[in-house]
Amino acid sequence: GMTGTFHYGLQVSIINSPAEYIQSFIHETWLKRYGSSPSAEMITLMWSLIVSIYSIGGLLGSSCAGYLCVRFGRKKAMLLSNIPALLGAALMGLSRLCGSFEMIIAGRLFSGVCGGLTQNVHIMYAGECAPRKIRGLIAITAATFSALGKFVGFALGLREVLGVEALWPILLAANAVPVLVQFLTLPFFPDSPRYLLIDLKDKEACI
């Protein structure tokens, strides 16, 4: 769950660094595809869509969180959130190779779905699994790891790291790392006792 909220913070901040490179990529792609340069307004529109569509994905993910938590359980809902995140990372990482800025838009949408899911499911899952004495401490890890993700995103975007023109697709795909960590480790964790008792009526598993 902590890696999920870390992914959220990372994805929020990581898009800021390669802004000029992505806008240049939109211009070059449009020129090759249509044989004419796009207007400044069109580039601004496409860039605004890339940035803002993450929030639309977040809204969709948040709207599905309650249903998925009851239907599949907190742990499986967290695991399901990895699917749109990995899909989004693949789309954004391969966008320049495929010559499609639309893949960045789609990738941001899928990443937003993951962010909306994890921000909600993490608090439920961690809070319900934590012992009573440290429940408050565990609950605030959502904010802590989101902030840590934003910090790492800004650090990766430095020109001395991945913030150069040749590496911006790798920078955008870097959010796959925390997702893979969660995907490989979360299956070994128990499910929420509250979900097991109230939703599955499995008292033995809850205990």
- Round to whole Å and give the CA distance between 52 and 55: 6
Q: Please give the tally of structural domains in the chain.
A: 1
Supply the CATH number for residue 12's domain.
Answer: 1.20.1250.20
- Whether 206 maps to a domain, the answer reads no
Alpha helix locations (H) across the chain? 2-14, 19-34, 40-71, 74-80, 82-98, 102-129, 135-139, 141-156, 168-173, 176-185, 193-194, 203-206
Query: DSSP state, 198?
Result: I
Name which of 71-75, 131-135, 179-183 the model is least confident about: 131-135
pLDDT, tens digit (0-9, with 9 covering 90-100), for 55-112: 999 999 999 999 999 999 999 999 999 999 999 999 999 999 999 999 999 999 999 9
Range of the domain at 28: 1-199
User: At residue 11, does pLDDT exceed 90?
Assistant: no
